[in-house]
Amino acid sequence: MTRSPAPLVLLDLDGTLTDSAPGIVAGIRHAYGALGLPVPDDATLRSFVGPPITASFPAHGVPADRVDEAVRAYREVFAAGGMYDNRVFDGIPEVLRALRAAGCTLAVATSKPEVYAKPICDRFGLTELVDDVFGAPLDGGTSTKADVIAKALAALGRTSPVVPADGPAIMVGDREHDVHGAAEHGIRCVGVTWGYAAPGELADAGAVALVDDVAGLTDAVLSRLA
């Protein structure tokens, strides 16, 4: 008898598993200062958390021909230690253990460059709680959330778009990019509201459910995998 593949849960990192805004925002502030450009307001700075910074910089006043310069300035601060100005949201380790106990395959799928995502997961004890960590390339142009999910699916032996024979799959994320990126592969997204989305962002993007408290995440995910 052929055994069905384990249910797959793809997990965003920033704003979903970890509160990474302090380190990211500090790096963004540094980048604008280094370029001599006005620093955006606090709400705009928080909006940088989640999407690729190569898309966020030009969307918020950095000229296209200076985006690479801004990214380099940001990474100076981030790689020097800013990436560890971060913490795991309370209750997330328990959620990951519960999902694994329920037979799920867990994979982090983040727009953050993989060379940063993996050491962050190592530092904060997440690597041991998931099956793998996938991120964007450090250089080589913009990598969307859909690109990262495609990489994860291929590495895990799943097709795109997902098909019933692959077993059920769900994305968990805090921004519209998670919802849209998952949808490109036929995967629904559970949105978490403790992250960095603007009011209404996740619902407007088409999240299949919104979870307001970490304690409710396990049941929200398992009920959508059934």
According to the model, what pLDDT value does residue 141 have?
58
What CATH number has the domain bearing residue 150? 3.40.50.1000
Angle, vertex CA 5, rays to CA 101 and CA 177, nearest 5 = 80
Task: Report, as an integer, the average pLDDT of 199-224.
Answer: 97
Q: Whole-structure pTM over 0.85, yes or no?
A: yes
Give me the amino acid identity at 18: T
Residues 110 and 220 in one domain: yes
The burial of 100, by beta-carbon neighbours within 10 Å (0-12 exposed, 13-18 middle, 19 or more buried), is given as middle
Residues 76 and 93 in one domain: no
**Which structural domain range is residue 45 located in?**
21-84
Residue 45: φ, ψ to 5°: -60, -40
| 120 within domain boundaries | yes
Among 47-61, 95-109, 116-130, the least confident range = 47-61
Half-sphere exposure of 112 (CA within 13 A, CB side): 31
Which H or E run includes 18?
A: strand 18-19
Residues 121 and 215 in one domain: yes
| 118 within domain boundaries | yes
Reply yes or no on whether 12 is catalytic: yes
According to the model, what pLDDT value does residue 4 have?
67
Q: Which residues contact 29 (CB under 8 A, 6 or more apart)?
A: 39, 45
Residues 198 and 92 in one domain: yes
| 93 within domain boundaries | yes
Task: Indicate whether 44 pLDDT > 60.
Answer: yes
Query: What is the per-residue pLDDT across 175-211, written as a single tens digit (0 to 9) for each?
Result: 999 999 999 999 999 999 999 999 999 999 999 999 9
Query: What is the per-residue pLDDT across 117-167, written as a single tens digit (0 to 9) for each?
Result: 999 999 999 999 999 999 999 875 567 999 999 999 999 999 999 887 888
| 2 within domain boundaries | no
1 band by pLDDT with thresholds 50, 70 and 90: very low
Residues 150 and 166 in one domain: yes
According to the model, what pLDDT value does residue 27 have?
94
Task: Exactly one of 12, 14, 147, 174 is catalytic; name it.
Answer: 12
Residues 205 and 151 in one domain: yes
